[in-house]
Amino acid sequence: MVDKFGVDVKKNRNNHAETQLSAPILITCLIEEGDIVVADAETAQYRSRMNSEDIYTFTTPATIGDKVQIAAASNYYTYAALKGMPIVQKKISTNNTPIIGEIVGYPMPLLNKPASSGVANSVQLRAASLFYRTVLVKVFAMGYESLAVLGSTVGAVSPGNYILWDNSAAGYQQTGTAGTVASNALACHYSAADTPYVGVLILGPIDVQA
């Protein structure tokens, strides 16, 4: 598949010339931080002067050093909607996907800024308008690339599902639910039958099903 968003990250002698093969890779990811609260800062003081920009706060803000996992499964986290980037969140007990890495750079400004709290108070709204910050994540993986999966054959793929190669169908498919370790390739997006592409973290050799 053509990497239409320019997000594939693979080790080669140019970008890892002086590191061990087992060294982690660095990937720019979207960060899911929950609902966004927008406060009008027209009358707020910042360092003794007026600030004319809105202030944005997050339900679960992320920062350097946080361990992250693929964000909890959602049908709105498609490859196209997220521009090919993985979406991560701080580790929480209700999300059973594995920790994939650690944030090593402060979150960047919002890609798109909501005009009010109400337009960014659900995953659906945030994904549709890319109301997300990006973070640099040190990922414990060998590479990240987009793959076409057999959604029509095996059903929808969700973020956190593992991917394997199906010999009989000559294509990639999901294997088990989030948290079920059955392969070394981890899906980062939702994919239905009509939207087969997902970003995949390659953790090692990809398992094969006859």
104-163 residue pLDDT tens: 999 999 999 999 999 999 999 999 999 999 999 998 878 898 888 876 566 788 888 888
Using CA atoms of 109, 111, 116, 121 in order, give the dihedral in degrees to the nearest 10.
-100
Cβ–Cβ < 8 Å for 145, 12? no
CA angle, residues 150, 153, 156, in degrees to nearest 5: 70
pLDDT at res. 180? 61
CB atoms closer than 10 angstroms to residue 35: 17
| Residue in 50, 49, 93, 48 with CA at minimum distance from that of residue 69 | 93
Handedness of CA 36, 76, 97, 88 (dihedral sign): negative
Which DSSP letter does residue 115 get?
S
- pLDDT > 80? residue 24: no
Which DSSP letter does residue 23 get?
S
| Cα separation, 90 vs 67, whole angstroms | 6
pLDDT at res. 67? 93
Lowest mean pLDDT among 8-17, 95-104, 173-182: 8-17
* Average pLDDT along the chain: 83
| Cα separation, 73 vs 75, whole angstroms | 7
- pLDDT > 70? residue 178: no
Q: pTM above the 0.85 mark?
A: no
Cβ–Cβ < 8 Å for 62, 33? yes
| Banded model confidence at residue 167, pLDDT cuts 50, 70, 90 | confident
Average pLDDT over residues 42-52: 57
pLDDT at res. 17? 44
